[in-house]
Chains A and B, each alone.
Chain A
Amino acid sequence: TVSFHDDSDEDLLNI
């Protein structure tokens, strides 16, 4: 489950 305080993110997809 995603935490309410989740500030994590992925990298921008390069196409």
Chain B
Amino acid sequence: DKATNPLNKDLDWDGINAFCEQLNKELEGPPLATRLLAHKIQSPQEWEAIQALTVLESCMKSCGKRFHDEVGKFRFLNELIKVVSPKYLGSRTPEKVKSKILELMYSWTLGLPHEVKISEAYQMLKKQGIVKC
């Protein structure tokens, strides 16, 4: 709640770090975290989406393979794709949110090249013209 409550208008780094630690500890941590974050990233409220993307970014840096593998599934990547695609939520999503998603995906293609589904999803977005630069 501390990390992802949109009523918190400032980033709570202690809360975010605690979220990342907790998801590492729990057996079901990675799937639970990705489901929660996907839902919030799809929020029409820009701050809620940006906040959740910041938590996702931070956890990808500090968590290990279990979380990387869960984020690297199409089950989660599809939810990010929906946000940037005009066929789904893209038309009503702020540019800032869409840009951050594409930046994160690009960074993971470089930093986690073994997560091949991330690269595949990113290449698909490039091919469809969603990635403009």
Contact = CB atoms under 8 A, between A and B. Distances in A.
Interface of A: 1-2, 4, 6, 9-15
Interface of B: 27-28, 31-32, 73-75, 77-78, 81-82, 85, 87-88, 117, 120-121, 124-125, 128, 130
Contact of A12 (B27, B28, B82, B121): B121
B131 to A, nearest CB: 12
Contacts, number: 37
Contact of B117 (A1, A6, A12): A12
A2 B31 CA distance: 7
Given A15-B85, A15-B130, A10 B74 contact: yes
B121 A15 contact: no
B125 to A, nearest CB: 8
Interface of A is mostly: loop
A12 B121 CA distance: 7
A9 B28 contact: no
Contacts of A2: 28, 31-32
